[in-house]
Amino acid sequence: MKYTAKKLAELLNGTIEGNPDVEVSSLTKIEEGKAGSISFLANPKYTHHIYSTTASIVIVNKDFVPEKEIPITLIRVDDAYKSFAILLDVYNKNKYNKTGIEQPSYISKNAFIEEDVYIGAFAYIGNNVKIGKNVKIYPNSYIGDNVQIQSNTVILAGVKIYPDCKIGKNCIIHAGVVIGADGFGFSTGDDKNTKIYQIGNVIIEDDVEIGANTTIDRATIGSTIIRKGVKLDNLIQIAHNVEIGENTCIAGQSGIAGSTKIGKNCQIGGQVGIIGHLNIADRVKIAAQSGIGSSIEEEDAIIQGSPAFDICSYKKSYVYFRKLPDIEKRLSDIEKEISGKK
């Protein structure tokens, strides 16, 4: 889709310097700009690129003062970075703005599907499924019986949503995600492991994004819950009956064991492991590769290590840890000196 500088300025509430009729159809970094593309300048260290870029339009802050003539069209805005983010959102929505039902696909006769929905080839839509307006379900996806998906949610290729799960509005679920598989539940004894069947579901609230190949297990009884605004990276494991609070972000390869409750607005780094049945307070930050073996009751805590503890104490301890070889050598030298005197 092509946009003129005039149309973009209206969209971004900006002012034009240059040709209002110049058209663009792609977005690029300023150092990689090319004819027919739009870029932005927000970080001063990239300023020199604006004099050599071949992008047709560049978004700049209103207070930008060029050192020499710029032969391209500028759109001046209050915040160039935020304005470019708006364009990325528009571009992304246009890219995924498909409608219609591709064949072959299977849709149960009693599934309820609202308008402007897209269902890709080889998708399976089970019994009593409810799909809201403008939902996009890409090829090879499986939507089990009684699943509910609310409006404007995007389900990308190869996603599997097991029966009875509920997905909110404006969610993005990336390729390969599995929602609602059985939790890892077994009883042990008599030299065998007996499966405990998981009969609950997964509830994902509005505005959640789930990265590729992440797995979220159904509850044993009740629900595994991902609250509004949560952002999950790729390759994350969320176990049965976990609850993740609003707007929490979790980086890739992290794992959360069963029945743990994580608060609002937490930030959890990559490869963090959290054992089951814990409580993590609001706004806690956990550094990458940390191991959490006990509840964190203090809000706004920042922790690191395995087992994890206060990050300032961890850094001090690590300084001593790095000095251990030197300390050991000094102790050995002292022992030798004492032995020599005897």
- The answer to whether 217 touches 196, Cβ cutoff 8 Å, is no
Q: For the chain, which residues make up each domain, given as ranges?
A: 3-95, 100-311
Burial class of residue 288 in the structure, from the number of CB atoms within 10 Å of its CB (0-12 exposed, 13-18 middle, 19+ buried): middle
| Domain 3-95 grouped into CATH 3.30.230.10 | no
174 assigned to active site: no
Same CATH fold assignment for domains 3-95 and 100-311: no
Count of C-beta atoms within a 10 Å radius of residue 298: 13
Segment-wise mean pLDDT, segments of 10 residues, the chain, 342 residues = 91 95 94 94 94 95 93 95 92 84 96 97 98 97 98 97 98 98 88 91 98 98 98 98 98 97 98 97 97 96 90 83 86 84 59
The reported pLDDT for the residue numbered 342 is 55
SS3 of the chain: the string is CCEEHHHHHHHHCCEEECCCCCEECEECCHHHCCCCEEEEECCHHHHHHHHCCCCCEEEEECCCCCCCCCCCEEEEECCHHHHHHHHHHHHHHHHCCCCEECCCCEECCCCEECCCCEECCCCEECCCCEECCCCEECCCCEECCCCEECCCCEECCCCEECCCCEECCCCEECCCCEEEECCCCEEEECCEEEECCCCCEEEECCCCEECCCCEEECCCCCEEEECCCCEECCCCEECCCCEECCCCEECCCCEECCCCEECCCCEECCCCEECCCCEECCCCEECCCCEECCCECCCCCEEEECCEEEHHHHHHHHHHHHHHHHHHHHHHHHHHHHHHHC
Select which of 48, 49, 174, 240 is catalytic: 240
The matching CATH number, chosen from 2.160.10.10, 3.30.930.10, 3.40.50.720, 3.30.70.1150, for 100-311 is 2.160.10.10
Model pTM score: 0.85
What is the per-residue pLDDT for 123?
Answer: 98
Q: What are residue 149's DSSP bridge partners?
A: 131, 167
